[in-house]
């Protein structure tokens, strides 16, 4: 037998495969902080959509320039986007054990 060839008996035993973390029945998927962040994100989104309401005119022949206010064009979309970012962060954040 060659010295370069090793026998099968000399091989190290295979390490056991690491299993996925177990989920206990009855546990929530997210932690308390995740749900709190989700509610904050939902609040931001709701406030953003509420700020967009209005600005129309009762008479279709009259144009209302209030439609293009800072609140509707800038502030509301920023709040909505911030709410969605908070929601994504809340979903992706690992809960503390």
φ, ψ dihedrals at 44, nearest 5°: -60, -45
Task: Determine, yes or no, domain membership for 8.
Answer: no
Nearest to 72 by CA among 40, 94, 50: 50
Give the ranges where the chain is alpha helix by DSSP (H). Answer: 32-52, 70, 76-92
Tell me the mean pLDDT in the region 50-78. 88
- Average pLDDT of the chain is 84
Task: Determine, yes or no, domain membership for 70.
Answer: yes
Task: Using pLDDT thresholds of 50, 70 and 90, give the confidence band for residue 79.
Answer: very high
Domain count, the chain: 1
44 lies in which domain range? 29-92
**pTM of the model as a whole:** 0.69
CA 38/CA 88 separation, integer angstroms: 9
Task: Determine, yes or no, domain membership for 7.
Answer: no
| Structural contact between residues 42 and 88, judged by C-beta atoms closer than 8 angstroms | no
Task: Determine, yes or no, domain membership for 11.
Answer: no
């Amino acid at each position: 037998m060659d010295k370069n060839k090793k026998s099968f008996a000399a091989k190290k035993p295979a390490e056991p495969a690491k299993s996925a973390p177990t989920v206990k029945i009855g546990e929530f998927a997210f932690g308390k902080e995740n749900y709190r962040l989700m509610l904050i994100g939902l609040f931001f989104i709701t406030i953003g959509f509420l700020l967009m309401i209005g600005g129309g005119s009762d008479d279709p022949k009259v144009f209302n320039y209030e439609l293009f206010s800072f609140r509707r064009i800038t502030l509301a979309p920023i709040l909505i986007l911030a709410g969605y970012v908070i929601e994504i962060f809340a979903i992706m954040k690992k809960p503390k054990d």
